[in-house]
Structure 1
Amino acid sequence: MTAPHELEEKIQAFIVEKVSYHWANTGTAYLLSRLGYEIKRAFPNYLSVMPKGIKNYVREWPSVVQVEFPGVPEKAGLVPLDAKLPADITAAFQSRSDNISKGPVYENAFWDAFTRKMEDKRYISLDLDENIVVSEKYPPDSMAKTWELTDNDIIVHPPGTPIPEKVRTTHQKIDEWLSRHEIERTHFLKVRNNHPLRSSSSSMLEALFSRLSQEEQSRVVIPMDILLKLIAAK
Structure 2
Amino acid sequence: MRPLRLGVNVDHVATLRNARGGTHPDPLAAARAALAAGADSITIHLREDRRHIRDADCQAMRAALTAPINLEMAATAEMEAIATALRPHACCLVPERRAELTTEGGLDAAGHAESLAPVIAALGAAGIRVSLFLDPDLRQVEAAARLGARAVELHTGTFCEAGGDARRRELDRLAEAARRVDALGMECHAGHGLDYDTAPLLAAIPEVVELNIGHFLIGQALFDGLPAAVRRMRAVMDGVRRP
**Superposition TM-score, scaled by structure 1 size:** 0.23
Rg comparison, structure with higher value? 1
| Structure with more relative contact order (C-alpha pairs < 8 Å, separation 6 or more) | 2
